[in-house]
Every structure is written in structure tokens, then in C-alpha cells.
Structure 1
């Protein structure tokens, strides 16, 4: 464990038991210098950990200056042993140094950085059981040797629940000696990775440097796995030979950034993470479970159960103080039955599930998410080094009262208000930079006005890396977003990318970027001949043109481009729809609908240009689009040839003309009748029906003639074609509203088609087979209760009875 004045404190990263043990050991040792496993570049910023504005969880962020995307994190929580050692050294005025392999080596090759976690979610080395590290988990091996199937529960029993002696300082070395002995035995059976050999060689060099600096008492805080390699020092030449193969360093910057408990959990990808950071924070901040009397040992458990009760009450679960008392008793009883010194997380959650959640896994999942893992977000002081872009963003967050929070929350904005408009601009600019702090959401306010905007906000620690990457485009959020937009315009390869970018620039209020984006858009639009690309690009342009005035932006330059695209679509769409298969027709149907809506918005702007010279109606955009739809609706495939517009598109064009008032229901019925004629292919006819009814089938209820036409066609579909047509019809009617489907079914069942009631026009058979009818009379007479059987030949009289009954039923 020790070599001369060097004391090795082998710890488990993010372990509250290890943190308490380190605190006790440092109080006893009173070292002259503290060496901590971590990147040496952090020596320049470690002093910030003592400032009042530094609140864990936080992380060291190192990134390459020339390529900020190459970055790595070193997270610390309040219960991390390294954080406890840092705070001890700073509080006592003792020098503190980081001794792991410099981050500059790992960032040079873009490989995983030793000692950290790659941005944003790369695996870290400090979980020996992580993939690619060792063939087995050392902690798991120790747990198995002790008869535990779960390494977490074993660690809790041995370390977290270990009751200290009356003199914690005297007892301090004991856990480290035991852990060092166990790790020495395990390393004899495991192969050490090349990366760990390099890291341990560098750590040994740092220890030697501390000795040369004449420090009398040296404390080394490192992962327990490295203790055996640091306790037996090889020669200096041996370590120098190992380090000779390191890559060339790159220029690196390092700073502190806020972190969250959720990012410490293993399921987020951080290899040195833990399953229950919220639980460990509770154990560390509320005292060790094994301290004091029996009542004192239950204090942390009782407080935890109280927090669970508060959470469940806030979510409308009926939880009382009696539930808390019984849950504590049950957790302690389970621990005794399972032979554990104190109730751990497993016993606690079992008690919560049984007593407070009534066996519900849903309620328990809420406890695990909010308390066991948690969303605590750390803070860093303003004096921490940051890029200018980060400083500008922090300034905007304060001035706009938009605090970054790890919990998801909804934000409704009214763009008529100056502050809400500024918030919207900030969120849109950050999205343009790839910092998705906010994502657009459906408005929770019952309003359809274009001045309403809703966002779903959630801050993530990885945004620190994206901010560093975005700093290459500018020193302020607006300048960086402008530079990013110009770069994206230069690299765009498709017209829809440019029209979407134009919309983003208007939403983000970036007038300086619009000229470059508009030039690229005009050049691309002039050369693009793909009608599908034009149709995909138009809606974003029209939205920007129509709603840009809500933000006070100048979108006049878009009008010419938008109308030019619309004219080209009107000309090129009918030929582009000929000879398509079913999949291509489905894609183009979506474009047809979006272009129809976009042209409707463009038409709505016509009154604003009333002062301009009037044009003939034939030249108006709306009339040209209506002519395009009529052309589509008329282009039926020729018999034996696929040279025509698919039925799906013809039917949709007809429906759009009907909804737009360009044709009346009588003409729509004529077109439906033509489409349903027996000379057409059933599959093409079914596609026509799907396109015509898509979105709403209410017109079948308002116009029984259309329903009658459809019913007669379906009844006449040949049996050999019905199987092919059925999936299309099922898909069509499944998309209709439930009430419409039910009413249509009732009318068809009742025969109420073409405005007639069932049986109203039915006539009796022209000739009645009296002999066959007389054979059924005795049974029929008995069923109707008419007494004795009627005489033969009275079948005509009796046959009228069920007919009258049918009429009463129909009425």
C-alpha cells in the first residue's frame, strides 16, 4: 500500500463509501501533496473547484483546439472520491496534481481518451468490466467469491454499509489495504491492456516527480485496479520505453462544465458510471448508514422513504406517513432476512413497491427515474474558462430568463411579445448550430394563431462540446448561426435543403445570411428539373413567405422564387405523374397535397397586391393550378397500357378540385362513375377511391348518390379481382373517422343508398310457386300463432305477412 512516503488510496470511482474512506485517510495522513488520477491539463483549472459557484456534479472537458469535436469528459459528483480529495487539498492549501496520461495524446488520434469518456457518450476505462477491457469484472469476481450474485449488493455490504470504528482516523487505512490485496490477487489472473500499461507508466513517472520535489508525505488517489502497478515500481528506463510510442500531442484546452446525475448512470454509455447516482448522493450527503446508534442507522433510510412519499404524492398517489413507517420496517426486515448488515437499494425498492406503490411497476419506475438516478444539474463559476460563444449564450440565458435545466419542460411563446420573440430566435439559432436545447412541440394553448409557438426544453451536458464546435463560425450566437447557415448553403446538394434553410434563417432572424442562401437557392432552382424536388421545396418557401411577417422579417425576396417554382410545378407535374408504380404514386400524392396547400397560401396573398396591374384570371396562379389538377384527373391509363396517371393521383386531384370549389358534387359524381366503370382495372379503381376519400369520407354521408355508386361498383367486382382490391379498400376506410365508418356501414346494411330506404322499391315476385309455398305453411302457421293450418292455395295471402313485418322493421 505504501512505498516510503507514498500512500496509495485505491478507490471505486463515484463510490460514496470510497469517498468517506478517502476523507478519513487524508485527515489521518495530512499529506504534503495530493496526486489524483486525471488529465494533467486540469492542473491549470483545479483551483476553481474551491469557488462558491462550483456545485457538483461537474466534469472536466478537454477538447482539441483545431478540432473541438475531438473531446472527452471526466465527471465528478459530490460523492466521487477524487472530488473529495480535490476539495480537501484546496481547503488545506495543499498542492493537488493530476497524474493520468494527458488528454492531448488521446485527442491526437481521435481515439478514446484514457481516463475519460469520449464525447458525447463514449465508454470510459474505469469500469474493468466494460467491453474490450478485461475478460471479467474484478468486482464481480470478488462478489462471486463472497457468495454474492450481484456485485452492487456486495459492494454495498462491504464498503457502503461498513460501520466505522470509534476512531475513524485510526481505521482509515484498513479498507484500502484490503482492496489493494484483493486487486493484487486479481491482476495475477488478468491480462493488462496496452492502454492501461501506458497510463500506469505515466502515473509512476508522476509519483517519481513528486518524490524529486521533496514532498515528505504523498497521497495518491487512483482506481483500485491500478494500485498493484503503482506499488511495485519498475525501472525508470522501463517506463520511458513504454511511453516512447505515444502519438504526438495536439494543442488542447480544458475547462469545467456542468454535469448531471443521469449522465453518470451506466445506461447512458459512460463506462465508469453507476446505476444509482441519486441513491449514492443521498447516502453520502445524509451520513453513512452504519454511523451511530440503531436509531441513527435508520435516519438515512427514513429520510429516503420520506422523499419517495413526497414524489408519489406530487404525482397523485395516495401515500401517508403510515406508509413511510411501514416501508422502513419492511426494508429493515428484508435486510435481516437476507443476511445483510443494513437495508440496501434492493430492499428499499422492494419495500417501496409493496407498501407505497401497491405492487405497481409504473409507480416504481417513477421512483427509480426521479430519485434513484435523478436529474441533478451542477453549476460552474463564471470565472471558468469558456469560448466567447459560451459566454454570449450564458448572457442570453440570463437576460431572457431561460435557465438550462435537465428536466424536460414545456415552453409556450407569444411572438407578439418582445421577450418571447427573443427566446424563439435564440432557440431557432441554437437548432441551426446543432444544439437542440429546444425542439418544436404541439402547442398546449388552445389557439391556432401563427403568433403561438411551443417548445420542449431539456438541457444536456454534451451541449458544451457542440458549443465549442460551433465557436468556429462566430463568437456570438447570432454570428455563429449566420456563419453556419452560409456554410450549409454552400454545401447543399438538393433544392429542399436550401428552401428549408431559408425557412430556418427567417425563423432564426438571420438577415445577414439570407443573401448568400437566396443566391444559392436561385441558382439551384434554375437548374433543377426534378418536379418531385420542386414540389418538396415549395412548401417551406411559402411558409416563410406567408408567416415571416409575424416576426417582422423581410421575406419579399422569396416571393419571386416561390412563384417561379409554383409555375414550373404546374407545367411539369402532369407529365411527371405518368406511368408511376404504386410506391412512387404514394410519394407524389404527398407532394401533390403539400403543393396544393402551399399554392392556397400564395393565393391568399393576392389581395395584398391589389394595387398592381390586374391580370387575366387565366394567368392567376390559382387558375393555373386548377387547370393542372384537371389535367391530372383526366389522364386515365389506356387499355393494356400503363401510360396514364395512376388512379390514386387522379382521385386525389378530383377531391382537391371538389374541396376547392372548382367542381361541384354532380361533376364529382360523374368522375366517380367513370372511374368505377367495369372497363377499368379494379386495382386502379381502388386507388382512385383511396385518393378521393383520403383524409375525410364525410362527403359519402352528405351525398348518398356517391355512396350508391361506390356500393354498386364494389358489389360487381369479379371474385378473382376482389382479393387484390380488398387491401386497398381496407386501408382507405381504416383512415376514415370512426363515426363516418359506422354511419356508412349502417346505411349500406339498411340499403339506404341513393336516398331510398330498404325495401321501398321492392316488388313481389312476378310468379309465385304456390306448391312450394304450401309445403311451408303448416310450420309457418305454427310459428305465427295463427291456429289451424290454412287451406291449400292460400300461400299468396300468407306471404304478405312477413313482407309487412319487414316494412315495420325498416321503418
Structure 2
């Protein structure tokens, strides 16, 4: 074969994948030599898809996705950016009407080889293989770079040390400590040569020296891939003569020049395993082109490289103008003078460092000094938004896709919910039909394992069931998840229904089934709900563990809230939840007897959860299901259970205290009775540790402190007990008390400290004397002083709250009246 610089061809153009300098050089070489065909390092299965690269809807970055037909999770990506040399070659060939073909090892073989390597790794045989052998950083010699199955592994491991990084070796030989800087100086910033093939000849010579020294450089599979490429080149020579061009990683150039026989090459390929694969185009992102994403031929700064490729002239000035625009959008003061000074500083730094042009390091240093006043904090934003970038590519609707992906794309368009690479918050009001459909879609996708959206805390502080908040971000790997989910159905609704039914049958814990029932209601899967409910009823009937039942009940009852907003029939769910609650009521008290400290703490959380669930469940019951006193029958039954828990000595103190507190909060227990029970729990006959646990159950949590602040009688009881604890036992109860009171707000703790320091809180209570600040009768004069402010807050006429309805004095402007003035 002829050398790269030969006039007649073939022309083997060695490149660095995703290198803008290589991309420009490839374009110049193709324009100069005008080959009759273009061969590109990449999977031959993509030959039928290459025409889509010229489609008006195609927007790089994009990637070829190959996956095993029967095992979609076994997949690989071949990413292309606008500045990828392979992408430039493909588009040149399509523009000129020249045949373009991929000549790398077929994905059918590479994916099957990966499967064998993983099996060997599981058995402890051979070297560890991580999703196919990853390439060395930045290599022109990658396991394919922009056109390699090895790069597909978004979760791959770093390359092993024994593998050669050719760019790093050449940079070290040139006296550089940074391979990226050497590549930029030697390739990216060089001017156009008179001979369009001269740069490729020089790079081929350098790679030839490396291959002589290092051989395959630890990339043993490259030998098989290069044998296949040579066979494809022989086939092209028979069809097009010698006037064809090959675009491949520079590492492979010496091997493609090597004179071997076809028989020897076929021998290397003999016996390769094979799998049936499908291939399509999928959107990609600049973020996934970055080395930090874990993908082998990644680059540190895809956004910077895209700028270098697209800028027609004065790239430094244009870049710093972009940076200034970003900082202005973030309300930072950046003027034109800042841009001028930053350009001057970047050029000065380049001269001082002996570089032909300012690179990313020089422009970044200039931005830090001039725009950011020496701070690295704004640089994080610049790195994320510009240096890396958050561009998400687009693929044509004509691209092959699994039916599930087509249905998802159709729904996304109809709901105006476009996938984006940049993370964003989405607030949904479920009372609006479009927002309700968006919610159902996101919940269905989560059930299918497609994590496009994750629930987030509401930014508006709303606790209503009609509002949802989501955090959305589309990652390229989700295309694989969609392909995997395609085994469940051809539509999002059908696939989610089938997946929910299968999960219900396969669930091992009762709580998992109840959680699944909740997800079915959120995702509006009416066909799956009967199966889930049947499994739930069967599991609940067989599960005798009260802890499991108590853990399952809250999720089931929460599901009932979605009926009104989402228009879901929850009648069957209500009856199952009521039956589950009754079983909890019957078995809870015996289950609490004899628990150790850890078991009691866990059971306390179950008691709290069941208490919250009972209130919701009672609200869903029919009006006829009420107790004689008007309380819901289920809630009344629950209060009886709490009363039993609070009075049994066999129940751990933390649960007894919690039961008393819940009854007190619900008005089922008056203050005097609560004080009596506390007095019994804190009596001299109670072990200090058990008494401390009772206090933790009674006043533990964020709201416990306010109860003690406003009921000094209870605070006095706690104070008197604490001062009576013997020194020997005090060190045992102190950690529990610290944990109890540390949950209070700082202001509450300060107020409690002041009340305790004042001292006489307990004595008046014990003597029957009124507590300061409290009275048996209402102080009408003090209460009337608050009424004007209350009227203002409610938007009513404040003068009506004054005696006789007379107009009051003009409001002053003191800080105390700020709230009232705002209300006015």
C-alpha cells in the first residue's frame, strides 16, 4: 500500500477522535485528493444509517447505538460531534455523492467478545475487561474513540496502566508535561500546510515509531480489528482502485500500512463469536464526550473544541466574549474593557509560555484574573456551561427505533416536554390536564427504570396533592434503558402495565407491593391495579409480622389521596387498607411487649406512620362509618390501641411516651391526665433509662419543645425528675436526653433554658398555684390587642376590631408593625 502522502492513494488519514484540528485537516485532504470512496473506522452495521447524517433534522452530537437484540442492556455507543473527523468525512462524502463505508470490526463480534470477557472475569480468568477495552485518554488509538464500541461503556473502568497512551508518550518526548497542551500546540493551532497530506504523514511516522517500540501497546483486540480493516481496504481497492481514503485513529495507521496476506488476516478473525444486533442513531451530549464521564477516548473540553472548530477567525476574542455574556447573564459586572484586558493577558501568557496561540489554560487564567477577581467560584460555572457544555443532539424521526421509543417520542411532542441535557426543575399542577399527563408519563418511565425525571421537593412549599415537582435531565444512556424496557410492550402505557404486574408477582416483601400500588395510582395504570391488589391481599393475609403490616400501611393509605386529583377509583384500595389497619390494631400491643432499645425505636417509627395513615384512611371512609361521638370508626379504634400502649408496663418507655403524646395532640387526653402519666413514668421507682426513653417518646421530635414551652407544668415534672437522677445513672441517660433535645430549634432550646433557669416552674404547679403567664380565665384586654393585626392579615377592616368600631390611630412605621403594614 502507498504512504499517506503519496499522490495516487490510498490515503490513510490518521486522526485524533473528536479533534477539531484533525477534522479541519481531514476536510482539507479530502478536498485536495477527491477520493472515489471514503472508509471510516466504525461498525459496518451502520452503513445503512449513514445517509441520515445529511438529514435536516440531524444535529450533532449524536451517537450510533448498537445493542444485542435479545439483550438490549448489552450495548455500545460510537459518539460523533460536529468537530469529529469521522463526522466531517461522512458529511463530505454525502455532499460529494461518494460512497462511504465503515470498516471496523462489526458490532456483532465486538459485543459478543465483550460478553465472553465478562464471563471470564466473573470466573476470575484473564484480565479484567471493562465494558470492552477502553481506550487510553485522548487517544488517536482508542478502542475506537468516536467510532468505537469500546467508548460505549459509560460505566467502564479506567484503562489499565500497562496500556500505552500514545499522545502522552509523544508529549513527554517533546518535553511537555500535559498531553492536551502538546496536542493543541502541535495539531489544533497549526496553520494549514501547502501539502494537505503532510500533517498525516508526520503523525503516521510518529505512530510508527511507537508501534515498533510498544507493539499493540496493551490493546490486544486492536490486532483483530486492524486485520478486519485491512480486509475491507482490499475489497475497496478491487471496487474503486487505489483512489480511496481511510479515516481512522492515528494509532492504527502503521498497522494498516503493514503488508500482510489476506490469509493471515482471515486467520485472526476465525472463530470470533457473533451476536444478533440492532443499530440506530441516538442523541448524545457534550458532557458525555468529556473524559470525566468515564468514556475512554473522551476529551476534557468538548465545548472549547466545538468553539475552536466553529470560530471562523479570532477564536480567543470570540471565546472571551462568550464567557463575558455568560457572566452577565448571572448578574456579574463584566464590561467590554474586561474582555479587551483578558484578551491581552491571554496573549501575553501564551508568549511567556512559548505557545503559538493562547490555549484553554491561558484563557482560563485570564478569565480568573480579569473577570473573576482571582476567585475560582465563577470558573466552575464557566467550566460547566461553556468548557464542557450541555448541548444535546437531535436525530431524525426517520431513524430506526424500537416501538417503545417511537411512542415515547410521540408523547413527548404532544405534551411539549422536550428532552434536555441541562438539568431543570419542572413544577406540575395536576389540576391541569396537560400537567397531569406529564406526571403520569414521568411516573410510568420511573416504573420502567427510565430515570428521566426524579421527584424533587416542591419549591413553592406546597403540601397539596395537586402539585408535583420534578428534576429532569436526559442522559444518552436512557436510550439503552428504553430499548431494554421494550421487552414489556410497544407503548409506554402497555409496557408500564406489564412491568407493574410482573413486579407485583415477583415482590418478596409486603411493603414492596403496597409501594407498587401507590406507583400504579401515580402512573394511572388501571389495568395493572387489580393484579397488584390481588397480590397485596394474598401477601397481607399470609404475613403475620405486625412490623411488616405497619410498614406497608402508610404507602397504601397515601395512595388514597390521589383519587380526587387524578380521577382514580380507589374504592378497592380503601377496603384493603381498612382491613390491613384492623390487623395492625389487633397485633400492635402484643408486638410491642418485650422489645429491646433498637426494636422499640423502630416500632416507634411504625406507630407514627400508622397514626398519620389512620387520619387519611378515616377521611376516605363513608360518612356512615363513624363512632357514636362522631369520630371515624377507624380513628376511634386507633385511639383505643394508643391508650393500651400508653398504659401497659410491658411496653417500652419510648412507645408508651409516644402513645401518650399522640393522644394528647389529638385531644383524647387532657393535660391533667398527661401530667399524671408523666408523673408515674418519672417516679422514683422507674429505672432512669426507661424514664429517659419515656421522655424521648413524649417530647421527642421538632414539636416536642413547644409543648414544654407552653406547658410549664410538664416542664416542671421533667426538670424535677432530671435533678433527682442519681449521679451513677445520669451518665447513662444523658446521651438519650441530648438526642431528644437536640432536635429542637435553637430558639426553643434557648426559651427552655430560660424557663429552667427561672426555677419556680415546678413548685407552683405542685402547690396548685397558677403558673406565670397562664390563667384559668381569658384575659379579654390582652386578647383584644391582637385583633387588629389578625384583621389585617385576613384582609378585613381593622377598625372593626377596635372598641366601638372607632377608627384607630394611624399606623406607625416601627419594625413591630412591619407585618401589619405589609398586610395592609
In 2, Cα distance between equivalents of 1:32 and 1:349 = 43
**Residue 308 of structure 1 is aligned with which of 323, 342, 346?**
323
- The residue number in structure 2 matching 1:116 is 149
Stretches of 4+ aligned residues off by more than 4 angstroms:
117-120, 611-619
**Paired position in structure 2 for 1:33:** 37
Equivalent in the alignment of 2:259: 233
Checking the alignment, whether the CA contact within 8 Å between 1:283 and 1:300 is kept in structure 2 is yes
Say which is worse superposed, 201-210 or 437-446, in terms of deviation: 437-446
- 1:366 counterpart residue number: 381
Q: What is residue 91 of structure 2 aligned with on the other side?
A: 87
2:248 pairs with 1:215 = no
Give yes or no for contact 2:151–2:297 (8 Å, CA) kept in 1.
no
Q: Please, which runs of 5 or more residues in structure 1 have no aligned partner?
A: 125-129, 288-295, 637-643, 762-811
Q: 1:34 and 1:491 mapped to 2: Cα distance?
A: 52
Q: Say which of 743, 749, 753 aligns to 1:741.
A: 749
TM-score normalised per structure 1: 0.87
Give 1:245's aligned residue: 271
Gaps of 5+ in 2: 119-130, 133-142, 770-824
Closer/same/farther in 2, CA of residues 191 and 646 from structure 1, 3 Å limit: farther
Query: 1:775-786 counterparts in 2 under 5 A?
Result: none
Report the secondary structure of 1:132's partner residue.
coil
Alignment partner of 1:456: what SS? strand
Equivalent-residue separation in structure 2 for 1:545 and 1:623 (angstroms): 20
User: Mapping of 1:195-594 within 5 angstroms?
Assistant: 195-247=221-273, 249-287=274-312, 296=313, 299-594=314-609
Q: Is the 8 A contact 2:517 2:556 kept in 1?
A: yes
Residues 679-688 or 386-395, more deviating: 679-688
Structure 2 contact 465–562 (Cα < 8 Å) conserved: yes
Secondary structure of 2:64's match? strand
- Hey, what's the Cα distance between the residues in 2 that align with 1:755 and 1:30? 102
Distance 1:668 1:146 in 2: 83
In the other structure, the counterpart of 1:659 is 665
Q: Per-residue deviation at 1:300?
A: 1.1
- Mapped partners of 1:654, 1:117: distance in 2: 63
Which region of structure 1 is more displaced relative to structure 2, 232-241 or 482-491? 232-241
Structure 1 residue 133 displacement after superposition: 7.2
Q: Is the 8 A contact 2:618 2:632 kept in 1?
A: no
Helix, strand or coil at the partner of 1:404: coil
What's the counterpart of residue 802 of structure 1?
Answer: none
Q: 2:720–2:762: 8 Å Cα contact kept in structure 1? A: no
**Structure-2 separation of matches of 1:42 and 1:509:** 39
Matched residue, 1:710 = 718
Structure 1 window deviating more from structure 2 (377-386 vs 723-732): it is: 723-732
SS of 2:463's partner is coil
CA distance in 2, matches of 1:309, 1:514: 54
| Contact 1:60–1:255 (Cα < 8 Å) also in 2 | yes
Alignment counterpart, residue 652 of structure 2, candidates 638, 641, 646: 646
Q: How many residues align?
A: 729
Once structures 1 and 2 are overlaid, which stretch shifts more, 108-117 or 397-406?
108-117
In the aligned structure 2, how far is the partner of 1:756 from the partner of 1:6? 104
- Cα distance in 1, alignment partners of residues 342 and 82 from structure 2: 27
Q: Does 1:52 align with 2:56?
A: yes
Q: Distance in 1 between matches of 2:559 and 2:364?
A: 52
Q: Deviations over 1:552-574 (max 9, x none)?
A: 01111111110111011111112
In the alignment, structure 1 residue 155 sits paired with structure 2 residue 155? no
Q: Is the 8 A contact 2:153 2:295 kept in 1?
A: no
Query: 8 Å contact 2:465–2:561 — kept in the other structure?
Result: no
Shift of 1:671: 1.5
Matches within 5 A, 1:163-174: 163-165=191-193, 170-174=194-198
Once residues 13 and 618 of structure 1 are traced to their aligned partners in structure 2, the CA distance between those partners, rounded to angstroms, is 72
Q: What CA deviation, in whole Å up to 9, does each residue of 1:483-539 have, x standing for no partner?
A: 111111111111111111111111111111111111111111111111111111111
Q: Note closer, same or farther for the CA distance 1:21–1:683 as it changes in structure 2 (3 Å cut).
A: same
2:648 is the alignment partner of 1:635: yes
Do the aligned partners of 1:618 and 1:624 also contact (CA within 8 Å) in 2? no
> Within 2, Cα distance between the matches of 1:269 and 1:445?
36
Cα displacement (A) at 1:213? 1.9
SS at match of 1:189: helix
Indicate how the Cα distance of structure 1 residues 569 and 612 shifts in structure 2: closer, same or farther if over 3 A, else same: closer
| CA distance, structure 1, for counterparts of residue 359 and residue 685 of structure 2 | 77
Shift of the alpha carbon at 1:187?
A: 1.8
Provide the C-alpha distance between the structure 2 equivalents of 1:571 and 1:599, rounded to a whole number of angstroms. Answer: 14
Cross-structure match for 1:698:
706
Partner of 2:600: helix, strand, or coil?
helix
Distance 1:149 1:578 in 2: 69
Per-residue CA deviation, residues 182-213 of structure 1 (Å, 9 max, x unaligned), is 11111223252321111111111111111122
Q: Which residue of 2 aligns with 1:720?
A: 728
Instruction: State whether residues 64 and 107 of structure 1, in contact with CA within 8 Å, keep that contact through their aligned partners in structure 2.
Output: yes
Q: Would you say the 8 A contact 1:705–1:753 is kept in 2? A: yes
String of CA shifts for 1:285-316, please: whole Å, max 9, x gaps: 003xxxxxxxx5xx211111111111111112
2:214 and 2:662 mapped to 1: Cα distance? 72
| Helix, strand or coil at the partner of 2:561 | helix
User: What secondary structure is seen at the aligned counterpart in 1 of 2:245?
Assistant: strand
Work out the CA distance in 2 between the residues paired with 1:184 and 1:565.
74
How far apart are residue 694 of structure 1 and its match? Answer: 1.9
Query: Aligned pair 1:689/2:695, yes or no?
Result: yes
Q: Tell me the residue number matched to 1:791.
A: none
* Farther off after superposition, 556-565 or 582-591: 582-591
- Is the contact made by 1:647 and 1:685 (CA closer than 8 Å) also made in structure 2? yes
Per-residue CA distance 1:748-788 (angstroms, 9 max, x = gap): 1222423769xxx9xxxxxxxxxxxxxxxxxxxxxxxxxxx
The CA distance in 1 between the partners of 2:613 and 2:629, in whole Å, is 21
Q: Which residue of 2 aligns with 1:623?
A: 636
Q: Cα distance, 1:163 vs. partner? A: 2.0
- Distance in 1, matches of 2:504 and 2:27, equals 56
Q: Give a deviation string over 1:678-718, Cα, whole Å, max 9, x none.
A: 22222222221111112211110111111111111111222
1:103 to 2:107 alignment = yes
**How far apart are the structure 2 equivalents of 1:316 and 1:612?**
60
Q: What is the CA distance between 1:579 and its match in structure 2?
A: 2.4
- CA deviation map 1:434-488 (0-9, x unaligned): 1121111122235333211111111111111111111111111111111111111
The residue number in structure 2 matching 1:69 is 73
Cα distance in 2 for partners of 1:273, 1:329 equals: 31
Contact 2:626 2:633 in 1 (8 A): no
**2-structure distance, mates of 1:626, 1:300:** 74
CA distance in 2, matches of 1:162, 1:505: 60
Q: Which residue of 2 aligns with 1:777?
A: none
TM-score, normalization: structure 2?
0.86
For the pair shown, which has the larger CA radius of gyration, 1 or 2?
1
Q: Hey, what's the Cα distance between the residues in 2 that align with 1:549 and 1:117?
A: 51
